[in-house]
Structure 1
Amino acid sequence: MKKILALLPFVAATLTGHAFAAGEEPTVKDAIQAVDALWVIVAFALVFFMQAGFALLEAGATRMKNAGHIAGKNILSFGITTLVFWAVGFAITFGAGNSFMGTSGWFLNVADEQVNEVFGSLSWSDTPLAAKFLFQVVFAGVSLAIFWGGIAERAKLIVYFVFGAIFIALIYPIIGHWIWGGGWLAAHGKQDFAGSSVVHLTGATAALVGAMLLGPRIGKYNKDGSVNVIPGHNMVYSVLGVIILWFGWFGFNAGSTMAANGTFFPYVALTTNLAAAAGAVASLFTVWALLKKPDISYMLNGVLAALVAITASCAFVKPWAAVVIGAIAGILMVLSYLFFDRVLKIDDPVGAFSVHGIAGIWGTLSTGFFAAPDLVEKLGVGKPGLFYGGGFHQLGVQALGVASVFAFVFITSYIVLYLLKVTVGIRISREEEIIGLDISEHGTSGYPEQLPNGGTYVKNSVAEAH
C-alpha cells in the first residue's frame, strides 16, 4: 500500500497535467481528478474501438466486392473527423459564442492559459481539456460513420472528403452546441445524456438524405415495385461488429459521466446493458412474427437500435424503464426498416436511419415519459417525465429537440449533397457499381483470391475487370 501511495504524485501529475513541487503531497482532490482523467481516456478508447465494430458490421452487411472499401472508409472517416474537429468543430460545439454556435477556440491549443475559459461549457468536469477533446472527437466520428452506412456501395470517394469535412466542421457541431455546448436547446432543459439526438439522429438524418439523393443500388427494386433482398456477404463479421459496438457503448454512455468516483457510471452501464438485451430479444420476436423467420440481421440491428435509444436516457431512467425503452426500440427498428425498404423504396443498405434515426427519436422522447425525479435532480437537467407526474413539459422539450435537429440536418445535408451531385457527382457509374468499389475506386480487392489471377492484374477496363 505504501508503494502505491508513493506513486500517487506521479500518477496524479501525469493524468491532470499538474507538476508537484518537491515535498508537495497530492490531495484527495488531485487523486480524484487523476482517476477521473484515466476513466475518460479509457472511455475514449472504448468509443474509438467502435470504429472497428462499424467496419465489421458494415462490411459484413454488404457485398464482397465492396468489403475493402466499406471497412477502409472508417479509417479515412476518423482521420477527417480528427483533423477537422480539432481545427473547427470542437470550437463551434463547445467554444464560447452565442445560443446558435460557438465562435472561439479554433485550432485547439490546450496549453493556452485562457483555453478553459473559452470552453466553459465543459467546466462541469474537472478532467484535463485534452481528455475532453479526445472523448468528444470519437463521438463526432461515430456520427459521421453512421452517415456512410446509408450511402454504402454506390457513393464516390470524393463525397467522403467534401461532405465529411463539412459535416464535422458545421452540421454536427452546431447540433452539439445547441444541446451540449450551452445553446438554445440546453437553455430549455433538453435531456440527451450521451447523444441519441446529437450523435445518432444527426448522422442518421444525413444518411437518409444521402440514400434519397443517390437512389437505390442496381437490382434492389424491380419495375413492378417488388423488392429484391441484397444479402451481406458475411454474417459472422456483422455479429462480431455488433458485439464490439455493444462493448464500446459502455464507454459511450458510462463514459459520458466523465467521472469514475462515486457509483453513477456503473448505474449508467447497467441501464445501457439492460436496454440492449431487451432490444435483441424484442427485435428477433418481432421479425419472426412478421416474416416467419427469426432473421439474425434484424436482431443485430435491434441491439443497436436499443443502444441508440438508451443513449439519451441512460442516466435519467430506472432499470425497468431501460428494458421498456430498449424493447420498444427493437420493435420500432423492424417496422421502420420494412417501411422504408418496401413502402418508401429508400435503399438504406445497413438500415442507418431505422437504427440510428427512428431509435434516436424514440430514445430522445423517452425521457419525456420516463425521466425519474431523483435522477433529474441529480443531473440538474430538465424536469421529470410524464409518468412521474412531470406533465407534458419535458416531453414537449424533447419533441422540440427532435424536430429541430431533424429539420436542420436534413436541410443542410440536402443542400451540400445536392450541390455535390450537380457539380462533381456523388454516384459512381453503373459499370463501376457492377464490378464493385474495391476495384473501381481503389484498384484492389478485399478478397483477391476470388478474382482471376489472384487479383494481381491491373484494371485496364471495366470489361477486363468484370
Structure 2
Amino acid sequence: MTFPKNILKLAGATAVLAGAFAVPALAQDAEPAVNSEIAYIFNTFSFLVHGALVMWMAAGFAMLEGGLVRTKNTAMQMLKNISLYAVAGIMYYLIGYNLMYVGVDGGYIGSFSFLYDPNAMPDLDTGYSKMSDWFFQMVFVATAASIVSGTLAERIKIWPFMIFCVILTSFIYPIQGAWQWGGGWLSEAGFSDFAGSTLVHSVGGWAALVGAIILGARKGKFGADGRVNPMPGANLPLATLGTFILWLGWFGFNGGSQLALGSADDAMAISNIYVNTNLAAAGGVVAAMLLTQIMYGKVDLTMALNGALAGLVAITAEPLMPTPLLAIIIGAVGGVLAVITVPLLDKLKIDDVVGAIPVHLVCGIWGTIAVPLSNPDTSFGSQLLGIVSIGVFVTVCSTIVWLVLKFTMGIRCSEEDEEMGLDKAELGLEAYPEFGHGSKSM
C-alpha cells in the first residue's frame, strides 16, 4: 500500500524541516560572528570585482583613443595606455596610497612613508580585506592618468608623458584625494564627491588642459585665419567599442564606491547606483544627438559617444541619491555641456584630440555642483570650495611639472616626427602596416 509510505515520507520531511529550523536556534550565540564573516567576504568581493571592472576601463580608454586618432599614431596610444596603468599601480603602491589615506586626520596630506604595508595599521574589524581596498583605490588613479593621454595625443613624446604620469599618480592625485576621501580638510568642510567627478575626472581634466595649452595644437589643426581643420579619427567602430567598455566599467566605478556589499541596504544602494549610472549615460547620448542635429543639421557619432561619457562623469559625484528621472536630467545636461564646450575649445585654439576636457573637466564640475540637488547633507558652497581648491592645486602643480619637462627634456615631438606619425618616429612600428605605410594622407 502507498498510504503508509506517504505518511513515512511526510514524517521524514517534517523532521528535516524541524532540524533545519532548530539549527539556527541552537546556534544563536554564533550568529553575529557568522554574519560578520559573511559581510567581510561580500565587502571584499565587491572591492575586487568592481575594481576589476574599473581596470577594464583602461581597455576602454585605449580603444576610444585608438579610434579617435589617425592611423599613424594608434600604436603610440596603445603603449601610453598600458604603460600609464602599470606606472599608476607601482607609484600608488610605493607612495601614493600612504599619502592619500594614512594619517590624514582632517589635514592636508597623509604619510610620506615608503611602500604600503597593510599590516602597518591595526586591524579593527574593518569589514573587508585591506588589500582589496588598495586594489579598488589604485584603479581610480589610472583613470585620471588616462584622461591626460587622449587630450595630448599625436604630438607628445612618450618619456615626458610617462614622467608626468609618475608625478600625477604618486603625488598630485593622492594629495588632493586625501582632502576628501582620506578624511582631510575638505571632508570636514562638508564637500561630497561619491565616486570622483572632481577627485578623479576633473583632476585628469585640469592636468590635460594645462598640458594642452603648454604643448600646443597639432600642426595644421588651426589655420592662420582662425579656421579649424578637422582631423577625424581613423576608426569610429573602435571608438564606439571603447565607449561601451567604459560604460560597462563605470558600473564598477560608481557601484563599487558604495564601499560595501555586506547588507541588504548595501545591495539595494548598489542596484540604485547601477540604474542611475546607466540612465545618466543614456540621457547624455540622446541630448548630444539632439543638440548636434540642431546645431549642425546632422547627428555626430563622436559627439554621441562623448555624450555617453559626459553623462557618466556627471552622475559620478552622486549616483545614489537622485531619482532615475533626475539622473537622466543630470546626464543630459552633461551631454549638452560636452557638445557646447568642443567648439569653445576650438575658438581658444586648445587642441583636445578626443574631447576629454569637455567630458571629464567640464562635466566633472557640473556633476559636483549638482550634488545638492539630491543630497540634502551638502551645500553649493562646500561643493564650489572643493571644485576651486582642487582645481587650483592640480593646475598649479601640473603647470610646474609640464614647464620643467618642457625646458629640460622637451615634451613635443619634432614637426618631421609629427608628420611621419609617432608610431614610426617613437616606436619604429605601425599599427596598420598594410594601410599605406605611414602615408602623409593619414
Q: TM-score, normalised by structure 2?
A: 0.89
Whether contact under 8 Å (2:57, 2:249) holds in the other structure is yes
- Rounded Cα–Cα distance in structure 2 between residues aligned with 1:254 and 1:267: 9
The 3-state SS of whatever aligns with 1:224 is: coil
Which residue is equivalent to 1:7? none
Which residue is equivalent to 1:356? 360
Whether contact under 8 Å (1:105, 1:115) holds in the other structure is no
Shift of residue 106 of structure 1?
A: 3.2
Q: How does 1:240-389 map to 2 (within 5 A)?
A: 240-260=241-261, 261-262=263-264, 263-341=268-346, 343-371=347-375, 373=376, 382-383=377-378
- Rounded Cα–Cα distance in structure 2 between residues aligned with 1:445 and 1:104: 42
Which residue is equivalent to 2:40? 33
Q: Which among 108, 116, 119 is matched to residue 108 of structure 1?
A: 116
- Rounded Cα–Cα distance in structure 2 between residues aligned with 1:269 and 1:321: 14
In the alignment, residue 422 of structure 1 is paired with which amino acid?
Answer: F
Whether contact under 8 Å (1:279, 1:327) holds in the other structure is yes
The 3-state SS of whatever aligns with 1:160 is: helix
Shift of residue 181 of structure 1?
A: 0.4
1:55 correspondence with 2:62: yes
- Rounded Cα–Cα distance in structure 2 between residues aligned with 1:436 and 1:37: 45
**Shift in CA distance, 113/411, structure 1 to aligned 2, threshold 3 Å:** closer
1:422 correspondence with 2:407: yes
- Rounded Cα–Cα distance in structure 2 between residues aligned with 1:316 and 1:86: 32
Q: Which moved more, 1:86-95 or 1:256-265?
A: 256-265
Residue by residue, what CA displacement relative to the aligned partner does 1:25-53 show, whole Å, maximum 9, x if unpaired? 96111012111211211101100000010
Which of these two proteins has the greater Rg computed from alpha carbons? 2
- Rounded Cα–Cα distance in structure 2 between residues aligned with 1:116 and 1:213: 46
Shift of residue 71 of structure 1?
A: 1.6
Which residue is equivalent to 1:154? 155
Shift of residue 160 of structure 1?
A: 2.4
Which residue is equivalent to 1:379? none
In the alignment, residue 28 of structure 1 is paired with which amino acid?
Answer: N
1:447 correspondence with 2:432: yes
Instruction: Provide structure 1 residue ranges, at least 5 long, that are not aligned to the other structure.
Output: 3-22, 118-122, 374-381, 384-393, 456-461
- Rounded Cα–Cα distance in structure 1 between residues aligned with 2:322 and 2:185: 24
**Shift in CA distance, 211/104, structure 1 to aligned 2, threshold 3 Å:** closer
- Percent pairwise identity: 39
In the alignment, residue 75 of structure 2 is paired with which amino acid?
Answer: G
Which residue is equivalent to 1:85? 92
RMSD: 2.1
Whether contact under 8 Å (2:95, 2:112) holds in the other structure is no
In the alignment, residue 60 of structure 1 is paired with which amino acid?
Answer: G
Which residue is equivalent to 1:168? 169
- Rounded Cα–Cα distance in structure 1 between residues aligned with 2:388 and 2:434: 49
Instruction: Provide structure 2 residue ranges, at least 5 long, that are not aligned to the other structure.
Output: 1-15, 17-29
Q: Which moved more, 1:318-327 or 1:417-426?
A: 318-327
Shift of residue 317 of structure 1?
A: 1.9
- Rounded Cα–Cα distance in structure 2 between residues aligned with 1:126 and 1:330: 38
Which residue is equivalent to 2:9? none
Which residue is equivalent to 1:96? 103
In the alignment, residue 213 of structure 1 is paired with which amino acid?
Answer: I
- Rounded Cα–Cα distance in structure 2 between residues aligned with 1:94 and 1:287: 43
> 4+ residue runs of structure 1 moved beyond 3 angstroms?
23-26
In the alignment, residue 96 of structure 2 is paired with which amino acid?
Answer: G
Whether contact under 8 Å (1:96, 1:104) holds in the other structure is no
**Shift in CA distance, 268/25, structure 1 to aligned 2, threshold 3 Å:** closer
Residue by residue, what CA displacement relative to the aligned partner does 1:122-163 show, whole Å, maximum 9, x if unpaired? x8x621110000000000000010011111110011122211
In the alignment, residue 73 of structure 1 is paired with which amino acid?
Answer: K
- Rounded Cα–Cα distance in structure 2 between residues aligned with 1:116 and 1:292: 60
1:399 correspondence with 2:384: yes
The 3-state SS of whatever aligns with 1:316 is: coil
- Rounded Cα–Cα distance in structure 2 between residues aligned with 1:177 and 1:114: 17
1:45 correspondence with 2:52: yes
Q: Which moved more, 1:25-34 or 1:85-94?
A: 25-34
Shift of residue 448 of structure 1?
A: 1.4
Which residue is equivalent to 1:17? none
- Rounded Cα–Cα distance in structure 2 between residues aligned with 1:190 and 1:107: 29
The 3-state SS of whatever aligns with 1:47 is: helix
- Rounded Cα–Cα distance in structure 1 between residues aligned with 2:366 and 2:33: 45
The 3-state SS of whatever aligns with 2:312 is: helix
Q: How does 1:180-195 map to 2 (within 5 A)?
A: 180-195=181-196
- Rounded Cα–Cα distance in structure 2 between residues aligned with 1:245 and 1:269: 14
- Rounded Cα–Cα distance in structure 1 between residues aligned with 2:90 and 2:417: 30
In the alignment, residue 277 of structure 1 is paired with which amino acid?
Answer: A
Which residue is equivalent to 1:16? none
Which residue is equivalent to 1:212? 213
In the alignment, residue 226 of structure 1 is paired with which amino acid?
Answer: R
Q: How does 1:133-148 map to 2 (within 5 A)?
A: 133-148=134-149
Residue by residue, what CA displacement relative to the aligned partner does 1:269-322 show, whole Å, maximum 9, x if unpaired? 111111111000001111111111100000000000110010001023222211
Shift of residue 114 of structure 1?
A: 2.8
- Rounded Cα–Cα distance in structure 1 between residues aligned with 2:373 and 2:49: 32
Residue by residue, what CA displacement relative to the aligned partner does 1:332-362 show, whole Å, maximum 9, x if unpaired? 1100111111x11100001111000000000
1:64 correspondence with 2:65: no
Shift of residue 227 of structure 1?
A: 0.4
- Rounded Cα–Cα distance in structure 2 between residues aligned with 1:143 and 1:113: 27
Higher relative contact order (CA 8 A, sep 6+): 2
**Shift in CA distance, 116/353, structure 1 to aligned 2, threshold 3 Å:** farther
In the alignment, residue 81 of structure 2 is paired with which amino acid?
Answer: N
**Shift in CA distance, 286/25, structure 1 to aligned 2, threshold 3 Å:** closer
